[in-house]
Chains A and B, each alone.
Chain A
Amino acid sequence: MAMRDLVTGGAACAVPGTAASSSNPFGALANAILGSSSKTQELKGLPGSAVNVPGPSSDFRTGAPLTTIPGLETEGQQHHQPVGQNYEFLAGFRTADHGVLADAWNEIHQPPALQTQGGKIEAQFQEFEQIYNRGANSMLPPAWDGPPQGVLSRFLHSFVDSGRAGVPFRPAALPVLGLSEGDKQCIRDRSFIMAHHIFADKSEEYINAQVNALLHSLDIDGNERLRGPIRGSYPELEEYWTESQGALRSGMPNPADKWVSEFARQRENGDPEAWAHSFEQLHGTNGWASEFEHEQSQLASVGQVRGANMSHIAAMEQSRMLAHTLAQNTDPKFQNSKFLQFVSKMSRGELIVDENQIKPATGSLTDNWADEYQAQYNAGSSTWADQFVHQDLPQGTDKWVNEFVKENQQQGVDDQWVNEFSKLHVQDWAEEFGQQVAEGALGDSTADDWANTYENFLDEQLLASKQHSGASRGVYVFSDMNPYVGHPNPLREGQELFRKGLLSEAVLALEAEVLKNPDNAEGWRLLGITHAENDDDQQAIAAMMRAQEVDPTNLEVLLALGVSHTNELEQPEALRYLYKWLQNHPKYGVLATPELADSPYYGDVARLFNEAAQMSPEDADVHIVLGVLYNLSRDYDKAIESFQTALNLKPRDYSLWNKLGATRANSIQSADAILAYQQALDLKPNYVRAWANMGISYANQGLYEESIRYYVRALAMNPKADNAWQYLRISLSCASRNDMFEACDSRNLDILQKEFPL
């Protein structure tokens, strides 16, 4: 019953309550859960617990609360055998194996161990009582022995009994029980809720009358908290919800707080290191509490479900409240406790209390789903998850495939493929694969590779899901932790850094500038150019598009956009921007006919540009654009020609040398390309793009060891160049340097630079 205490009230309400108080979210949670279930099946355990319910059960199908009381365990067992689903559920909370909270308690005071029902319970709960009392000193009279407790419990029993019997409850005169204000409030709340349970079929007035009678006997002023039921299909649940909302809004009510802080205090005394650490290993120390902020949106979407799921939602809401309560304690160990994890899952809808069992909801978003999977279920039922956690994949493909398909619904994966996969591919592919393995056609190494790959798969998924926020085209992704924010003149700073060749630093300074002045076209433009030189076309495009919004006629921006799109092999877009360049050019604008602007056809555009070139052959820019245009159409010879013309006019333009080199490389004149790149690098030593291009040229020629060096050099200057990382990996594998894979995957530049110096 002690756990019920915990459920129903904080330290101040150590009085054994028989109803859950909505002011205590935990209690409300319990009731929301219980209120929604109507079967009498035995509950499966909560995480980490095995439920052993003692004795026979008689059927109480109403939402009857617990009727046993702590400390009076024996007495309770004589009077009321553990009954019904509710007791079992709560017994689950507090059985010897102990629901999550009891776990924590136990761990504090002794090493966790699996125990069976029996005398142990009492011992532990007496311990529990002591602790409870110790912590609750200030609120309770020091001498707190049996009698007042017994009296109250019997009194509350009779209230419940009266409910069952349908007999109106009569106020009784009770001896002074020494209830404090907080106690009274608890009892008041709980009674009200409980009354709703018991008298669910009675009228509202009746309920109020009963509760008032009860409270009056206890000398509690119940008026404040009485409220009419809220209209709705689930009045009880909605009421819990609003009450708990009210409670929360008015600041943490004492009881819950007290309990929470007491719990934390108690836990510091103990030695929860082991489990806390193991938990951290499994789940990471990241504050899940912060995830609660996102619950709202998730719940909102879940809220679309039909009424049948209302109970789940209510449960989720309650647990969210509870979690919020608990989250206010910032002790990291506390936050990491399994219990909180459990509650957090409940609130996220990942676990549903369905038919008195805790089940993981399908479609839940679970990164560490394998870990959670293991945590939720008894070990025996999921050997594969066990194995997975221990990095030991089975070679049998069917089993994991089936389980994988069943259990894992990961975000971003098209549902359809799962269905397909489970129906069709499993057999085909798995069979063939199995055959192949059997025939030895693949050889051992490939089978192992596959297993390893799968292990990496989830890591990748983790990484990918984190990295790909905002990675869609055109959305600029700002860096966090920008030291230049707040700088008085970040634009000038950025320009300085750019000139010096410190490209990554320049990026940060320029970001600070555009954060300050989002309409600064020059800031965006320079940012875009810097990204391009840093070999990040995605960000370059995003920045340039912002620049274009601010200043649609800026020629450099348009050219840069054309170049970046060309690099990304997006021909139509590139054409469009290059055409716009022509349109907006003061001299050649006349050549551009408006109808071409929407869907420029390559041939026309090229012709126009040639006309422009003839108009003014001394204009290097026209030739540059022409060069890019020819690259688009893979007219490499003409492109080279154009670039060379431009270079004659502008020999110190490093980006022009790079363009020439890239054109050469793409037309497989890789050796010549390298010469051009060298020129560019002579002019600008920190030109990341040129370094990366060098690497590509070597790789395309099959000179993988060399290419590795250049990639590493490029990455040393810009560790964010994702392309280069991928290319590096390919080169490593081609050069059979698999030993360096790990360094590459973990982006460990130190090792790589030491191993592959230039």
Chain B
Amino acid sequence: MGDWKTITVPVLSSDSKNILPYTSERKRSPTSMNSHVLRLSLPSSKNMHSFFSAFCTEDNIEQSISYIDRELTTLGFPSIYAESKGKELNLIAIINCMNELLALQHKNLRAQEEVEMQHLKLGSDMDHLQNCYAKLKEQLELSKREIVGLQERDRQLQSKNRNLHQLLKNEKDEVQKLQNIISSRATQYNHDMKRKEREYNKLKERLHQLVMNKKDKKLAMEVLNYVGRADGKRGAWRTDKTEARNEEEMYKVLLSEYEQRQGQLLLENAELKKVLQQMKKDIISLLPPQKQKPKERSEDGLVLSDQEEDTGELNKENMWEVSCETVREQLTNSIRKQWRMLKNHVEKLDNQVSRGHSGSLNEKDVISREDHELETEKLELEIQQCKEMIKTQQQLLQQQLTCDDDTTLLLQDCYLLEERERLQEEWRLFREQKKNFEKERKSFTEAAIRLGLERKAFEEDRGAWLKHQFLSMTADCKSENVTTPSAFLRCKYLVQVMFLHNSDPDIHLVKPASRQRKPHLVWSPPVSPEPCQISQYITQNSVASEKPAADNMPNLWVESDDKEETE
């Protein structure tokens, strides 16, 4: 293909500047496609007309047409001439060619646009990348500088550290030196002090001698009269005996002190041993019984049984009285072992509880969480109730205790009044009852009197009737000359009747008064011995049987008996 840029179009000289700079520009910018891109751009509207008219004028129509035909054929289009080497133009061909050219133009434009877009994108990408690169370079620079700075600081710190170590060492050395100095000075001072002290002692001795000498001349103590000793004893001479006694006294004092202390320590020891024993028992009781699972816990079980045997033996031995080394060790060792077992047990329980919390199924002796919660709720409720009860009771107590005096007095008065009224009520009842009893008593006495009178009258009537009967009978007998046995029998019968009748009317009379008694009244002196006895017995009976009945009654009957007897 020809070099498109070297189109020499004579008429385009004025516009060549427009086109050429474009194309040359395009050539400069590097693209990846590496193809010569023709940028076809329509010139500005100003030049449009001149451009269109510049190529083909009236003079060179044929030339232009042939040129165009040549170009088109080289492009691959069909010739615009109707026939080859003819002058007539194939209009259809021309139009087709124009259409093709337009389509091509459009396609090219589109391609150009695409290319431009891509170009722009690539350009911006490149910009972006360049910026990134620049930033990274900056960062790298910064980091490098930082590293350098840190290294510098590190170096400084290390040097400082070294300096400080050095200083410390120096200080330690100085301290050691000073201590040495101090000790040496101390020894020096001590030596000097001792020297001075010796000198001073010498002076004191000298002074002492002088003072003693002078003292002999003057009496140092004058006292009106000597006072007796505080404990009344006389002074003793200083002898070996007294010295020995002093020693003895001193040792006695010391020994008593030691014995006292030993006693206290023994007591303490005994108490502590008791406490340890108690602790051991408690620990054993806390541990779960090991006997059910002998296989798994055989060693523990054995150990426990050993322990139990030990405790049994030791208890038998009265541990707190034996205080030898081995027994003490045994006790402490056994407690340690059991404490360890208890600890293990508690840890196991803890693990179980934690496993239970995590939700997995547990052995039956672990309480499920819900049950546990229910129980705790129940217990809480109980506690609440108890607390409320306690509160109410406390309030009541408070009320009782912290009432003012007035209210307490009032309360007490109220109580007293209540009691008083109650008592009064009772008294009233009592008095009523008493009155009733009195009335009854009166009525009974009246009744008894009436009864007595009636009886008397009745007896008299009976006596009269019997007499009459007897008389009539005897009269009949006399008149009828009836044999004495029948008359005697009749008499006997009469006597019996009389006797029997003695009892009946009394019974009839007495019954309304009381149910329980069967008193018997003496009727007449002739029939006295048996009835008397009977009456005695019956009065005794009546007296005896009176007790459940009303109080006044036996008196009444005894009185009436007496009355009757006296009659």
**Genuine A/B complex:** no
What is the interface of chain B, defined by CB distance below 8 A to chain A?
none
What is the interface of chain A, defined by CB distance below 8 A to chain B?
none
